[in-house]
Amino acid sequence: MEDTITGQRIGYTRVSSLDQNLDRQLDGIQIDKTFADSASGKDAQRPQLEALLGFVRDGDTVIVHSMDRLARNLDDLRAIVRVLTARRVRVEFVKEQLTFTGEDSPMANLLLSVMGAFAEFERALIRERQREGIALAKQRGVYRGRQKSLTAEQIEQLAHRAAAGESKSALAREFHISRETVYQYLRGRADTVASQ
């Protein structure tokens, strides 16, 4: 009798801020390998999701805590699930208790769309409440905004070293900021110098 080959159980986790905990998302679930991204909802670059898509094989199961961890909007969610199930990879969402195999009933596909739409709507409400909270805090004069990653002295040092030709990527790593943040600091400093 031929042994049935079962694929790997592969976890995918994503946090949108440094204070969120990746470990809690799939706590207590048996996983063979995990791919984890730390990216904001606005960041389209999710290298570990790309790595997962390149890694999975026929018979594998991808396990995700919730739909909003896999995709930022309904279109992305449906596209990713479609790509995975077309390759005969099962997709399980723990929070929603839903599994998709590619041979799903019309009701399962409807649930994917409805639950995904609710997750997208919920994120939009959270963003709206954050904007309203910031606006109210500004009116009261208590909103300070996000703290700068670098001090004025560090920004000065960064600008001098960048002007001397040092790699922006190397500077970003050394100062523990993204390359985009390096460019923002350099643009901001150039604007300040130009206005003096």
User: Which amino acids are annotated catalytic?
Assistant: 16
Residue 26 DSSP label: G
Q: At what angle do helices 152-163 and 168-175 cross, to 10 degrees?
A: 160
Q: How far apart are CA 80 and CA 97, in angstroms?
A: 18
Identify the helix (H) or strand (E) that includes residue 158: helix 152-163
Q: How far apart are CA 118 and CA 92, in angstroms?
A: 18
Which position has the token pair 């049935």? 4
